[in-house]
Structure 1
Amino acid sequence: MPSSTRTRTRSRFAFALLAVLLMAALGVAIVTQVSSTGSGDNLDSARPADLLAVLGNLNQREAALRQEIAGLEQTLSKLEAGGGSSGAALEEAKARLSALSIQVGTVAATGPGVTLTVEDPGSSVGSEVLLDLIQELRAAGAEAIEISGSGSEPIRIGVDSWVSGGGGNVTVDGRRISAPFRIVAIGDPPTLAAALNIPGGVVDTVARSGGQLRIVQSPQVTVSALREVKPRQYAQPGN
């Protein structure tokens, strides 16, 4: 097989993988969802300020994914053009593939970050508190997050992750976890820690719920839990 043909084949294959991962992200909910049972915690009863915060996060995630779409369209154009630029386009596609793989959660990730431990002796820390914690980490720039409970395997947090249940009965992505909760997040350690420690923030929220949140900053942490890429059921690429 001529080298130019092999290059084009590799380019198409790399872009196909890239497109699969992007559509996996687009075919599910854009932001983390919560459906708390037994606690009366839902969007209908949320405060206007909370609803505005949820809307703001939704808009930010949508804007980020739209930027990814625009970038992928440019990459596709380069790959289709071929010629001397195909090698550079292929490298760009590989870089985007790596970034999207971390975002979607199909590969392990390592880097600086924080390890959080939530103690809950009174079984009073519910899904709304853990959801606030996850959302605050994301807003502070966390690039990969996993959560685990006592004696349970870690769960990778993805764009379609959901948290439900009240204190002592927390479920993440359909898996029951119990305190103490352990959360590992990759990002700038001082920024992540500062976001959680702001007055009235997550640390205070956990304390008001009867729990305690400990934060350890590290030059390197590992998020090893993986998510399975689900085939899209409804979403198709638009024009």
Structure 2
Amino acid sequence: MIKKTTDEHKKSGKRILFSVVFLVLGFILAFSYRTLGKSGEPGSIKSAAFAQEEQYRESLINQQERNKELSDEIAAKQEKIRKYEQSFSNREEEHAGLVEEAKDLRLLLGVVPAMGQGIRVTLQDADYDPVEQNPNDYIVHESHILRVVNELTISGAQGLAINGQRITSDAYIKCTGPVITVDGRTFPAPFVIEAIGDTDVLSASLHLKGGVIDSLIRDNIIVTTEQVKDLRLSALRNES
């Protein structure tokens, strides 16, 4: 009986010891599980890496959106600058056009000297016998001069002069016998009309068939024309 009791005590002690060991082991496993579950599990590490990747991705998307906004803003400002430049260019062209127009008007008004290529037309009285022929049929009249002047003006002459006297659209030309009066100044024949402009255009306009030159020849006027590369016409207020 005693021996049996001793064996039972030993078995009971082993059970208690195993229980304690299992209890401690369970506690250790539970603690390890909690610890690894929070910071050491592969799934937890993977989740942290994924969260960081998502954060980088979101940051990249935000940066790309910001870059697009900046690109759109730059494009808008460049378009605005282009419009300003175009507007400025248009104003420059308009200003240049006005300056050129003012220059042409000054030339036509004769208030500034005129220089450049042009044409020179000389009108002379024809030979006649004053006993048998009417001298008025062989001398240059103001109507002859006006034909030439008007034709040259229509053809784009930028400046005109008669015997060195600048004339304008309202110039006063009057014939008095063998001489003419231009704005109060008297000039004898021959009468030299000079015009600055495109020499080919001016010459062609005068030599049109049935035009000015032909009409002058029919009126017994001696006409000569000359294209000049370098003409200079004095201004109205600088008649030297």
- TM-score, normalising length: structure 2: 0.51
Question: Which residue does 2:196 correspond to in 1?
Answer: 186
Q: Which runs of 5+ in 2 are unaligned?
A: 1-87, 128-137
1:214 shift after superposition: 0.8
- Structure 1 residue 96, shift from structure 2 partner: 4.2
Distance 1:125 1:167, change over 3 A: farther
Structure 1 residue 221 corresponds to structure 2 residue 230:
yes
2 CA distance for matches of 1:112 and 1:89?
Answer: 27
Task: List aligned pairs for 1:61-210, cutoff 5 A.
Answer: 94-122=99-127, 124-148=139-163, 154-165=164-175, 167-210=177-220
2 CA distance for matches of 1:142 and 1:203? 17
1:14-41 deviations in Å (ceiling 9; x for gaps): xxxxxxxxxxxxxxxxxxxxxxxxxxxx
Residues in 2 aligned to 1:89 and 1:202: alpha-carbon distance in whole angstroms: 37
Shift of 1:166: 5.2
Name which of structure 1's ranges 116-125 and 171-180 shifts more when overlaid on structure 2: 116-125
Q: Taking every aligned residue pair, what percent have the same amino acid on both sides?
A: 29
RMSD of the TM alignment (CA)?
Answer: 2.9
CA shift, 1:208, in A, is: 2.4
| Higher alpha-carbon Rg | 2
Residue pair 1:108, 1:222 contacting (<8 A) in 2 also: no
CA contact (8 A) 2:159 2:233 kept: no
Q: Is the 8 A contact 1:165 1:171 kept in 2?
A: yes
Residue 39 of structure 2 aligns with which residue?
none
The amino acid that maps onto 1:226 is A
Output the CA distance in 1 between the equivalents of 2:91 and 2:204: 43
**Contact kept in structure 2, 1:125 and 1:206, CA below 8 Å:** no
Shift of 1:198: 1.6
Which deviates further from its counterpart, 137-146 or 85-94? Answer: 85-94
Residue 34 of structure 1 corresponds to: none
Alignment-mate amino acid for residue 121 of structure 2: L
Separation in 2, partners of 1:120, 1:208? 13
Residue 209 of structure 1: how far off its partner (Å): 2.6
Aligned-pair CA distance for 1:155: 0.8
SS at match of 2:186: strand
Name the CA distance, whole Å, in 2 between partners of 1:190 and 1:88: 28
Matched residues in 2 for 1:198 and 1:89: separation? 36
Using the alignment, how far apart are the partners of 1:172 and 1:206 within structure 2?
20
Q: 2:220 and 2:190 mapped to 1: Cα distance?
A: 13
Cα distance, 1:147 vs structure 2: 0.9
| Distance in 1 (alpha carbons) for counterparts of 2:92 and 2:140 | 52
1:189 maps to amino acid = T
Residues 123-175 of structure 1 show CA distances to partners (whole Å, capped at 9, x for unaligned) of 61100010111001111111111111xxxxx1111121121125513211121
Letter of the 1:182 partner, please give it: V
